[in-house]
């Protein structure tokens, strides 16, 4: 709605393509709907699907910026459709699928495969220092470390940072914001047995933090406002420290 309370007519340009259908070719379709108060892209897309094209593909689950499934390119910028208000956009809205991920169809992409492969490459799970003992006393962790770990765990794996990242678009194994954030979360965790030297091969090099161009598009688009700049600074310090340890050891 504009300031005069006159409903706007929104014009959507939406990417269409079904890679499973040999008869389908990439193109865009135009849809027009009337804007309503507090309309999000989630509401708009459902209205388009209900009223204009029941075959339109897009993903949503939580509708509240938690599940990470509704990332898409909104006027050239990765964003969560469920928390994007149409009132924050011009009348012409271009919706495209996130790049860097396998296209499922139209606006739907497969982020799960990218995140699973990243987790497998980085072994993104706790490598326990101590064997599990059900009778052991609970181990304590400092508040600062716990807060830093939980901060990293706020990532909802929406893929917006990956889509915005030039390095990730050129190299599917580049860790990008989400991957580097995940690695840092386990490096900080005192329960994890891996040393900085063990992490060196994961973090350093052109797949890791030294392949990062540093223009911080990832931080600009992260809907959870994760402190990715701090994460990369932490990883660079750790990687450089580990390199000197390795040199001294050699």
Q: Which of residues 68-87 bind ligand FES (CB under 6 A)?
A: 68-70, 80, 82
CB nearer to ligand FES: give 105 or 159.
159
List 1, 7, 65, 216, residue binding ligand FES (CB under 6 A): 65
Among 67, 124, 216, 240, binds ligand FES (CB under 6 A): 67
The answer to whether 79 contacts ligand SF4 (rule: CB under 6 A) is no
Contact window for ligand FES (CB under 6 A) among 17-25, 64-72, 122-130, 171-179:
64-72
Three-state SS string across the chain, please? CCCCCCCCEEEEEEEECCCCCCCCCCEEEEEEEECCCCCEHHHHHHHHHHHCCCCCCCCCCCCCCCCCCCEEEECCEEEEHHHCEHHHCCCEEEEECCCCCEEEECCEEEHHHHHHHHHHHHCCCCCECCCCCCCCCCCCCCHHHHHHHHHHCCCCCCCHHHHHCHHHHHCCCCCHHHHHHHHHHHHHCCCECCCHHHHHHHHCCCCCHHHCCCCCHHHHHCCCCCCHHHHHHHHHHHHHHHHHHHHHHC
Which residues, 6+ apart, have CB-to-CB distance to 181 below 8 Å? Answer: 152, 155, 226, 228, 231
Q: Does 66 bind ligand FES (CB under 6 A)?
A: yes
Q: Identify what 61 binds: ligand FES, ligand SF4, none; CB under 5 to 8 Å per kind.
A: ligand FES
Q: Check binding of 10 to ligand SF4 (CB under 6 A).
A: no
Q: Which is nearer to ligand SF4, 48 or 188 (CB)?
A: 188
Q: At closest approach, how far in Å is the CB of 142 from ligand FES?
A: 32
Work out whether 14 is an interface residue with ligand SF4 (CB under 6 A): no
Interaction with ligand SF4 in 150-169: which residues (CB under 6 A)? 155-161, 164-168
152 binds ligand FES (CB under 6 A): no
Q: Contact positions toward ligand FES, by CB under 6 A? A: 60-63, 65-70, 80, 82
Q: Contact positions toward ligand SF4, by CB under 6 A? A: 155-161, 164-168, 176-178, 181, 212-218, 222-224, 226
């Amino acid at each position: 709605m504009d300031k005069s309370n006159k409903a706007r007519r929104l014009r959507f340009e939406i990417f269409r393509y079904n890679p499973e259908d040999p008869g389908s070719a990439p193109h865009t379709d135009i849809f027009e709907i009337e804007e309503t108060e507090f309309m999000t892209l989630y509401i708009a897309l459902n209205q388009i699907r209900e009223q204009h094209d029941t075959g339109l593909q897009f993903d949503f689950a939580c509708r509240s910026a938690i599940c990470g499934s509704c990332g898409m390119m909104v006027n050239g910028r990765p964003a969560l459709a469920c928390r994007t208000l149409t009132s924050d956009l011009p009348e012409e809205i271009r919706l495209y699928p996130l790049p860097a991920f396998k296209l499922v169809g139209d606006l739907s992409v497969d982020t799960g495969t990218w995140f699973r492969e990243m987790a497998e490459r980085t072994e993104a799970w706790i490598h326990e220092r101590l064997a599990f003992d059900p009778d052991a006393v609970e181990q304590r962790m400092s508040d600062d470390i716990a807060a830093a770990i939980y901060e990293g765990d706020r990532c909802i794996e929406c893929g917006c940072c990956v889509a915005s990242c030039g390095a990730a678009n050129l190299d599917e194994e580049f860790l990008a914001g989400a991957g580097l954030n995940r690695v840092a979360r386990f490096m900080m965790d005192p329960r994890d047995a891996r040393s900085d030297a063990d992490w060196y091969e994961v973090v350093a090099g052109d797949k890791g933090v030294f392949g990062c161009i540093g223009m911080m598009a990832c931080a600009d688009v992260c809907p959870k406002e994760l402190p990715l700049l701090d994460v990369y600074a932490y990883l660079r310090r750790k990687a450089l420290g580990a390199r000197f340890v390795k040199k001294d050891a050699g």
